[in-house]
Protein backbone atom coordinates (compact mmCIF):
# COMPACT_ATOMS: atom_id res chain seq x y z
CA UNK A 1 0.00 0.00 0.00
CA UNK A 2 2.79 2.42 0.93
CA UNK A 3 4.51 1.71 -2.37
CA UNK A 4 1.34 2.58 -4.28
CA UNK A 5 0.81 5.84 -2.38
CA UNK A 6 4.42 6.88 -2.99
CA UNK A 7 4.33 5.96 -6.69
CA UNK A 8 4.09 8.59 -9.48
CA UNK A 9 0.84 6.98 -10.70
CA UNK A 10 -0.92 7.71 -7.42
CA UNK A 11 0.01 11.41 -7.66
CA UNK A 12 -1.21 11.53 -11.28
CA UNK A 13 -4.57 9.93 -10.43
CA UNK A 14 -5.21 12.30 -7.52
CA UNK A 15 -4.24 15.29 -9.67
CA UNK A 16 -6.68 14.16 -12.36
CA UNK A 17 -9.63 13.94 -9.97
CA UNK A 18 -8.88 17.35 -8.49
CA UNK A 19 -8.71 18.89 -11.95
CA UNK A 20 -11.99 17.21 -12.87
CA UNK A 21 -13.73 18.58 -9.76
CA UNK A 22 -12.50 22.09 -10.43
CA UNK A 23 -13.67 21.86 -14.05
CA UNK A 24 -17.14 20.71 -12.98
CA UNK A 25 -17.47 23.51 -10.43
CA UNK A 26 -16.36 26.22 -12.83
CA UNK A 27 -18.68 25.02 -15.61
CA UNK A 28 -21.66 24.18 -13.39
CA UNK A 29 -23.57 27.38 -14.37
CA UNK A 30 -23.10 26.66 -18.08
CA UNK A 31 -24.57 23.23 -17.59
CA UNK A 32 -27.44 24.70 -15.56
CA UNK A 33 -28.20 27.32 -18.29
CA UNK A 34 -28.40 24.83 -21.14
CA UNK A 35 -31.75 24.82 -23.08
CA UNK A 36 -34.52 22.66 -21.75
CA UNK A 37 -34.25 19.13 -22.83
CA UNK A 38 -30.45 19.11 -22.98
CA UNK A 39 -29.82 18.74 -19.18
CA UNK A 40 -32.27 18.90 -16.28
CA UNK A 41 -32.27 22.23 -14.31
CA UNK A 42 -30.30 22.47 -10.99
CA UNK A 43 -31.52 24.43 -7.90
CA UNK A 44 -29.40 27.24 -6.35
CA UNK A 45 -27.16 26.12 -3.45
CA UNK A 46 -27.18 27.16 0.22
CA UNK A 47 -24.69 26.83 3.04
CA UNK A 48 -24.73 27.88 6.71
CA UNK A 49 -21.71 28.84 8.84
CA UNK A 50 -22.30 28.40 12.58
CA UNK A 51 -20.63 30.43 15.35
CA UNK A 52 -18.66 32.78 13.14
CA UNK A 53 -16.50 35.07 15.26
CA UNK A 54 -17.43 38.77 15.19
CA UNK A 55 -14.45 41.13 15.12
CA UNK A 56 -14.94 44.63 16.59
CA UNK A 57 -13.09 47.43 14.81
CA UNK A 58 -12.42 50.38 17.12
CA UNK A 59 -9.73 52.64 18.59
CA UNK A 60 -7.96 50.15 20.85
CA UNK A 61 -5.84 52.90 22.38
CA UNK A 62 -8.88 54.77 23.76
CA UNK A 63 -11.62 52.18 24.20
CA UNK A 64 -12.34 48.65 25.32
CA UNK A 65 -15.31 46.49 24.34
CA UNK A 66 -16.78 45.14 27.56
CA UNK A 67 -19.89 43.48 26.12
CA UNK A 68 -20.68 42.07 22.66
CA UNK A 69 -21.92 38.87 21.04
CA UNK A 70 -18.87 36.75 20.32
CA UNK A 71 -20.33 34.94 17.28
CA UNK A 72 -23.18 34.94 14.77
CA UNK A 73 -24.68 32.63 12.16
CA UNK A 74 -23.89 33.32 8.49
CA UNK A 75 -26.22 32.00 5.75
CA UNK A 76 -24.95 31.78 2.16
CA UNK A 77 -27.14 31.41 -0.94
CA UNK A 78 -26.15 31.40 -4.58
CA UNK A 79 -25.00 29.28 -7.50
CA UNK A 80 -24.11 25.81 -6.36
CA UNK A 81 -20.75 26.06 -8.08
CA UNK A 82 -19.83 29.13 -6.03
CA UNK A 83 -21.11 27.54 -2.81
CA UNK A 84 -19.15 24.36 -3.53
CA UNK A 85 -16.01 26.31 -4.43
CA UNK A 86 -16.37 28.34 -1.19
CA UNK A 87 -16.68 25.16 0.84
CA UNK A 88 -13.69 23.64 -0.87
CA UNK A 89 -11.29 26.60 -0.86
CA UNK A 90 -12.44 28.42 2.29
CA UNK A 91 -11.30 31.90 1.19
CA UNK A 92 -10.35 34.53 3.77
CA UNK A 93 -13.48 36.31 4.98
CA UNK A 94 -14.42 38.46 7.96
CA UNK A 95 -17.55 39.26 9.95
CA UNK A 96 -17.20 42.50 11.91
CA UNK A 97 -18.80 45.52 13.54
CA UNK A 98 -17.41 48.96 12.77
CA UNK A 99 -17.20 51.10 15.93
CA UNK A 100 -14.63 53.61 14.74
CA UNK A 101 -17.02 56.58 14.76
CA UNK A 102 -18.67 55.75 18.10
CA UNK A 103 -18.01 57.17 21.53
CA UNK A 104 -18.20 55.34 24.85
CA UNK A 105 -21.63 53.95 25.66
CA UNK A 106 -24.15 51.27 24.65
CA UNK A 107 -24.75 50.85 20.92
CA UNK A 108 -26.81 48.59 18.62
CA UNK A 109 -24.75 48.18 15.47
CA UNK A 110 -25.18 46.17 12.30
CA UNK A 111 -22.95 43.20 11.64
CA UNK A 112 -21.03 43.58 8.40
CA UNK A 113 -19.03 41.18 6.27
CA UNK A 114 -16.36 41.01 3.58
CA UNK A 115 -14.40 38.43 1.66
CA UNK A 116 -17.36 36.29 0.49
CA UNK A 117 -17.92 35.48 -3.24
CA UNK A 118 -19.62 38.33 -5.14
CA UNK A 119 -22.32 36.12 -6.58
CA UNK A 120 -23.35 34.73 -3.18
CA UNK A 121 -26.00 36.36 -1.02
CA UNK A 122 -24.92 36.67 2.62
CA UNK A 123 -27.39 37.01 5.47
CA UNK A 124 -26.28 37.26 9.12
CA UNK A 125 -28.30 36.25 12.17
CA UNK A 126 -28.63 38.37 14.21
CA UNK A 127 -28.23 41.34 11.91
CA UNK A 128 -27.68 43.77 14.81
CA UNK A 129 -25.73 43.20 18.04
CA UNK A 130 -25.51 45.14 21.31
CA UNK A 131 -22.06 46.57 22.01
CA UNK A 132 -20.84 48.27 25.20
CA UNK A 133 -17.86 50.53 24.54
CA UNK A 134 -15.93 51.95 27.51
CA UNK A 135 -12.98 54.32 27.69
CA UNK A 136 -9.73 52.77 28.82
CA UNK A 137 -8.06 53.83 32.06
CA UNK A 138 -4.49 53.32 33.22
CA UNK A 139 -3.44 52.97 36.85
CA UNK A 140 -0.06 52.35 38.48
CA UNK A 141 0.22 49.61 41.10
CA UNK A 142 3.11 48.56 43.36
CA UNK A 143 4.18 44.94 42.91
CA UNK A 144 4.10 42.79 46.03
CA UNK A 145 6.39 39.77 46.30
CA UNK A 146 4.86 36.53 47.54
CA UNK A 147 7.60 34.15 48.71
CA UNK A 148 6.77 30.50 48.09
CA UNK A 149 8.23 27.85 50.47
CA UNK A 150 9.64 30.49 52.78
CA UNK A 151 9.88 27.93 55.60
CA UNK A 152 12.07 25.69 53.45
CA UNK A 153 15.15 27.90 52.97
CA UNK A 154 18.49 26.34 53.88
CA UNK A 155 18.84 25.66 57.61
CA UNK A 156 19.93 28.70 59.60
CA UNK A 157 19.43 31.12 56.70
CA UNK A 158 16.92 33.96 56.64
CA UNK A 159 15.21 35.97 53.90
CA UNK A 160 15.55 39.74 53.73
CA UNK A 161 13.23 42.26 52.10
CA UNK A 162 12.84 41.51 48.35
CA UNK A 163 13.72 44.28 45.87
CA UNK A 164 11.46 44.53 42.80
CA UNK A 165 12.47 46.16 39.52
CA UNK A 166 10.45 48.06 38.45
CA UNK A 167 8.64 48.86 41.68
CA UNK A 168 5.33 49.68 39.95
CA UNK A 169 3.48 48.30 36.93
CA UNK A 170 0.76 49.93 34.83
CA UNK A 171 -2.59 48.29 34.25
CA UNK A 172 -4.70 49.46 31.29
CA UNK A 173 -8.31 48.36 30.84
CA UNK A 174 -11.90 49.57 30.81
CA UNK A 175 -12.75 51.55 33.92
CA UNK A 176 -15.18 48.84 34.98
CA UNK A 177 -12.33 46.32 35.18
CA UNK A 178 -9.77 48.74 36.59
CA UNK A 179 -11.98 49.31 39.62
CA UNK A 180 -11.85 45.58 40.36
CA UNK A 181 -8.06 45.44 40.63
CA UNK A 182 -6.90 45.20 44.24
CA UNK A 183 -3.32 43.98 44.10
CA UNK A 184 -0.43 43.06 41.78
CA UNK A 185 1.78 40.15 42.83
CA UNK A 186 4.79 38.20 41.68
CA UNK A 187 5.53 34.76 43.11
CA UNK A 188 9.13 33.66 43.86
CA UNK A 189 10.09 30.20 45.13
CA UNK A 190 12.83 30.34 47.80
CA UNK A 191 13.00 26.63 48.63
CA UNK A 192 16.56 25.61 49.53
CA UNK A 193 17.96 29.16 49.07
CA UNK A 194 21.35 29.63 50.75
CA UNK A 195 22.56 32.81 49.06
CA UNK A 196 21.20 36.03 47.62
CA UNK A 197 19.73 35.48 44.15
CA UNK A 198 17.77 37.22 41.38
CA UNK A 199 14.79 35.83 39.52
CA UNK A 200 12.14 37.07 37.07
CA UNK A 201 8.45 36.34 37.43
CA UNK A 202 5.15 37.20 35.72
CA UNK A 203 2.91 39.80 37.36
CA UNK A 204 -0.53 38.56 38.35
CA UNK A 205 -3.54 40.74 39.18
CA UNK A 206 -6.21 39.93 41.77
CA UNK A 207 -9.50 41.48 42.86
CA UNK A 208 -10.62 42.10 46.44
CA UNK A 209 -11.83 38.49 46.74
CA UNK A 210 -8.56 36.93 45.57
CA UNK A 211 -9.79 36.09 42.09
CA UNK A 212 -7.22 36.44 39.31
CA UNK A 213 -7.91 39.12 36.69
CA UNK A 214 -6.59 38.81 33.16
CA UNK A 215 -5.81 42.39 32.12
CA UNK A 216 -2.98 44.10 30.25
CA UNK A 217 0.03 44.75 32.53
CA UNK A 218 3.12 46.71 31.56
CA UNK A 219 5.63 45.29 32.14
CA UNK A 220 4.16 41.83 32.41
CA UNK A 221 7.38 40.42 33.95
CA UNK A 222 9.48 41.98 36.74
CA UNK A 223 12.91 41.20 38.20
CA UNK A 224 13.17 40.38 41.90
CA UNK A 225 16.32 40.32 44.05
CA UNK A 226 15.96 38.14 47.15
CA UNK A 227 18.53 38.83 49.92
CA UNK A 228 19.38 35.58 51.71
CA UNK A 229 21.35 36.03 54.93
CA UNK A 230 23.39 33.25 56.48
CA UNK A 231 23.69 32.81 60.27
CA UNK A 232 25.83 35.55 61.80
CA UNK A 233 27.64 36.46 64.97
CA UNK A 234 29.33 39.56 66.36
CA UNK A 235 32.91 39.05 67.56
CA UNK A 236 35.63 41.43 68.79
CA UNK A 237 38.83 41.97 66.83
CA UNK A 238 42.41 42.22 68.04
CA UNK A 239 44.95 44.53 66.40
CA UNK A 240 48.52 43.37 67.00
CA UNK A 241 51.48 45.76 66.86
CA UNK A 242 54.49 44.84 64.78
CA UNK A 243 57.82 46.66 64.66
CA UNK A 244 58.74 49.81 66.55
CA UNK A 245 57.98 53.49 66.21
CA UNK A 246 60.74 55.83 65.05
CA UNK A 247 62.99 56.88 67.91
CA UNK A 248 61.62 59.64 70.07
CA UNK A 249 57.94 58.97 69.30
CA UNK A 250 55.34 57.34 71.47
CA UNK A 251 51.69 56.35 71.08
CA UNK A 252 49.38 58.64 72.95
CA UNK A 253 46.17 56.92 71.88
CA UNK A 254 45.34 54.05 69.56
CA UNK A 255 41.68 53.48 68.68
CA UNK A 256 40.07 50.84 66.50
CA UNK A 257 36.75 51.53 64.75
CA UNK A 258 34.75 49.36 64.89
CA UNK A 259 35.94 47.15 67.72
CA UNK A 260 33.42 44.44 66.80
CA UNK A 261 32.65 42.92 63.38
CA UNK A 262 29.91 40.60 62.14
CA UNK A 263 30.81 37.26 60.64
CA UNK A 264 28.49 35.16 58.47
CA UNK A 265 28.63 31.45 57.83
CA UNK A 266 27.46 28.00 58.90
CA UNK A 267 26.40 27.87 62.54
CA UNK A 268 28.90 25.16 63.49
CA UNK A 269 31.74 27.37 62.19
CA UNK A 270 30.51 30.45 64.05
CA UNK A 271 30.26 28.52 67.32
CA UNK A 272 34.04 28.01 67.33
CA UNK A 273 34.99 31.67 66.76
CA UNK A 274 35.13 34.13 69.65
CA UNK A 275 37.85 36.53 68.43
CA UNK A 276 39.38 37.59 65.13
CA UNK A 277 43.15 38.00 65.21
CA UNK A 278 45.76 38.47 62.52
CA UNK A 279 45.20 42.22 62.06
CA UNK A 280 48.72 43.65 62.20
CA UNK A 281 49.69 47.32 62.57
CA UNK A 282 53.26 47.99 61.43
CA UNK A 283 54.53 50.68 63.79
CA UNK A 284 57.66 51.22 61.71
CA UNK A 285 55.51 52.83 59.01
CA UNK A 286 53.83 55.26 61.43
CA UNK A 287 55.74 58.57 61.42
CA UNK A 288 52.93 60.94 62.43
CA UNK A 289 49.44 60.92 63.89
CA UNK A 290 47.20 59.32 61.29
CA UNK A 291 44.41 56.84 60.51
CA UNK A 292 45.20 53.67 58.61
CA UNK A 293 42.84 51.07 57.18
CA UNK A 294 43.51 47.44 57.94
CA UNK A 295 41.84 44.45 56.30
CA UNK A 296 39.98 42.06 58.58
CA UNK A 297 40.97 38.49 57.70
CA UNK A 298 38.17 36.01 57.02
CA UNK A 299 38.49 32.95 59.25
CA UNK A 300 38.32 29.55 57.60
CA UNK A 301 34.73 28.50 56.90
CA UNK A 302 33.36 32.04 57.25
CA UNK A 303 31.49 33.30 54.20
CA UNK A 304 31.65 37.03 54.88
CA UNK A 305 33.03 39.57 57.35
CA UNK A 306 31.27 42.92 57.77
CA UNK A 307 32.93 45.34 57.65
CA UNK A 308 35.90 44.00 55.71
CA UNK A 309 38.11 46.96 56.73
CA UNK A 310 38.59 48.69 60.09
CA UNK A 311 40.07 52.12 60.79
CA UNK A 312 42.98 52.32 63.23
CA UNK A 313 43.72 55.86 64.43
CA UNK A 314 47.15 56.44 65.97
CA UNK A 315 47.90 59.68 67.81
CA UNK A 316 51.62 60.20 68.41
CA UNK A 317 53.50 62.44 70.82
CA UNK A 318 57.09 62.97 71.92
CA UNK A 319 58.37 60.07 74.01
CA UNK A 320 59.26 60.82 77.64
CA UNK A 321 60.56 58.62 80.46
CA UNK A 322 59.29 57.87 83.96
CA UNK A 323 60.98 55.61 86.53
CA UNK A 324 58.97 53.95 89.28
CA UNK A 325 61.28 52.66 92.02
CA UNK A 326 61.05 49.48 94.06
CA UNK A 327 58.11 47.78 92.46
CA UNK A 328 57.58 44.40 94.19
CA UNK A 329 58.20 41.23 92.18
CA UNK A 330 55.50 38.58 92.47
CA UNK A 331 55.78 34.82 92.00
CA UNK A 332 53.07 33.22 89.90
CA UNK A 333 52.40 29.63 88.84
CA UNK A 334 53.73 28.02 92.04
CA UNK A 335 52.55 24.40 92.01
CA UNK A 336 50.84 23.01 95.10
CA UNK A 337 53.30 21.37 97.52
CA UNK A 338 56.19 23.64 96.55
CA UNK A 339 57.77 26.79 97.97
CA UNK A 340 59.86 29.38 96.16
CA UNK A 341 62.09 32.28 97.18
CA UNK A 342 64.36 34.90 95.69
CA UNK A 343 68.11 34.61 95.80
CA UNK A 344 68.48 37.78 93.70
CA UNK A 345 67.32 40.42 93.96
CA UNK A 346 67.36 39.82 97.71
CA UNK A 347 64.80 42.49 98.51
CA UNK A 348 62.37 41.13 95.86
CA UNK A 349 62.00 44.62 94.31
CA UNK A 350 63.00 46.24 91.01
CA UNK A 351 62.71 49.63 89.35
CA UNK A 352 60.43 49.92 86.30
CA UNK A 353 61.22 52.28 83.43
CA UNK A 354 58.16 53.61 81.56
CA UNK A 355 58.38 55.38 78.19
CA UNK A 356 55.49 57.12 76.50
CA UNK A 357 53.60 60.36 76.12
CA UNK A 358 53.53 62.80 78.99
CA UNK A 359 49.71 62.58 79.08
CA UNK A 360 49.82 58.84 79.77
CA UNK A 361 52.79 58.97 82.14
CA UNK A 362 51.05 61.54 84.35
CA UNK A 363 48.16 59.11 84.81
CA UNK A 364 50.29 56.15 85.93
CA UNK A 365 50.39 55.04 89.58
CA UNK A 366 52.41 52.28 91.25
CA UNK A 367 49.30 50.15 91.47
CA UNK A 368 49.03 50.11 87.67
CA UNK A 369 52.31 48.21 87.35
CA UNK A 370 52.78 44.48 87.95
CA UNK A 371 56.17 42.73 87.86
CA UNK A 372 56.27 38.92 88.18
CA UNK A 373 58.11 35.69 87.45
CA UNK A 374 56.28 32.60 86.24
CA UNK A 375 57.62 29.36 87.74
CA UNK A 376 54.81 27.06 86.60
CA UNK A 377 57.15 24.81 84.61
CA UNK A 378 60.12 24.85 87.01
CA UNK A 379 61.39 21.82 88.90
CA UNK A 380 62.97 21.97 92.38
CA UNK A 381 66.32 23.79 92.41
CA UNK A 382 67.80 27.14 91.45
CA UNK A 383 66.60 28.85 88.26
CA UNK A 384 67.34 32.12 86.49
CA UNK A 385 64.09 33.48 85.10
CA UNK A 386 63.05 36.57 83.16
CA UNK A 387 61.14 39.32 84.89
CA UNK A 388 57.86 40.17 83.19
CA UNK A 389 56.03 43.46 83.54
CA UNK A 390 52.55 44.61 82.55
CA UNK A 391 50.93 48.02 82.81
CA UNK A 392 48.80 50.62 81.03
CA UNK A 393 48.36 50.33 77.28
CA UNK A 394 50.48 52.37 74.86
CA UNK A 395 53.42 52.59 77.27
CA UNK A 396 56.77 50.90 76.78
CA UNK A 397 57.64 49.09 80.05
CA UNK A 398 61.05 47.77 81.06
CA UNK A 399 62.44 46.48 84.37
CA UNK A 400 65.79 47.76 85.61
CA UNK A 401 66.64 44.18 86.57
CA UNK A 402 66.10 41.80 83.67
CA UNK A 403 66.41 38.46 85.50
CA UNK A 404 65.89 36.98 88.92
CA UNK A 405 67.47 33.93 90.58
CA UNK A 406 64.80 31.74 92.12
CA UNK A 407 65.05 28.66 94.30
CA UNK A 408 62.18 26.18 94.17
CA UNK A 409 61.84 23.57 96.91
CA UNK A 410 59.41 20.74 97.47
CA UNK A 411 57.68 20.74 100.84
CA UNK A 412 58.58 17.86 103.16
CA UNK A 413 55.59 15.61 103.86
CA UNK A 414 55.10 14.32 107.44
CA UNK A 415 54.87 10.57 107.95
CA UNK A 416 51.41 9.42 108.77
Q: Which residues pair with residue 141 across a beta bridge?
A: 169
Residues 171 and 289 reside in one and the same domain: no
Q: Rounded to a whole number, what is the largest CA-CA distance in the chain?
A: 159
Average pLDDT over residues 233-261: 92
Residues 12 and 110 reside in one and the same domain: yes
Q: Which CATH number fits the domain that encloses residue 19?
A: 2.170.120.30
Q: Which of 284, 318, 352 is the last residue of a domain?
A: 318
pLDDT of 239: 93
Confirm whether 415 is domain-assigned: no
Residues 328 and 393 reside in one and the same domain: yes
Q: Which of 96, 114, 130 is the last residue of a domain?
A: 130
CA 64 to chain CA mean position, Å: 38
pLDDT of 29: 47
pLDDT of 60: 83
Confirm whether 324 is domain-assigned: yes
Confirm whether 326 is domain-assigned: yes
pLDDT band for position 157 (cuts 50, 70, 90)? confident
pLDDT of 86: 87
Domain count for the chain, please give it: 4
Nearest 5°: the CA angle 234, 239, 243 is 170
Residues 185 and 204 reside in one and the same domain: yes
pTM: 0.48
- Written as one string, the DSSP assignment of 89-114 is H----EEEEE-TT--SEEEEEE-EEE
Three-class DSSP category at 14: helix
Contact between 90 and 76 (Cβ < 8 Å): no
Confirm whether 416 is domain-assigned: no
Identity of the highest mean pLDDT range in 5-9, 142-146, 356-360: 142-146
Q: What is the mean pLDDT of the chain?
A: 87
Rounded-to-integer distance, Cα 148 and Cα 163, Å = 16
On the 0-12 / 13-18 / 19+ scale of CB atoms within 10 A, 338 is middle
pLDDT beyond 70 at 414 = no
Residues 147 and 106 reside in one and the same domain: no
Residue span of the structural domain in which 361 resides: 320-410
pLDDT beyond 60 at 211 = yes
pLDDT beyond 80 at 169 = yes
For 314-340, the pLDDT digits (tens) are 999 998 999 999 999 999 998 888 899
Amino acid sequence: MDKFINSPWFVKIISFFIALMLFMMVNYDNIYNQPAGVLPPVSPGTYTLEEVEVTPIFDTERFAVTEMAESVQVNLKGPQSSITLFQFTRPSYEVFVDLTDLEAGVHNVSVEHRGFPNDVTVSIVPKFVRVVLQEKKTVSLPVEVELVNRDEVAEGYSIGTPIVTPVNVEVTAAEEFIDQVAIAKVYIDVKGADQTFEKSGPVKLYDHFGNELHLDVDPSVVDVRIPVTSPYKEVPIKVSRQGELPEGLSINTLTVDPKVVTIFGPQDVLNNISLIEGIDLDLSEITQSQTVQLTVPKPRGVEKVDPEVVNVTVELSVEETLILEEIPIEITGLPEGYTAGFITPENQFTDVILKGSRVLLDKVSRGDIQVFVDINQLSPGEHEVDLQVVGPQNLLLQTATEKALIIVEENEQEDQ
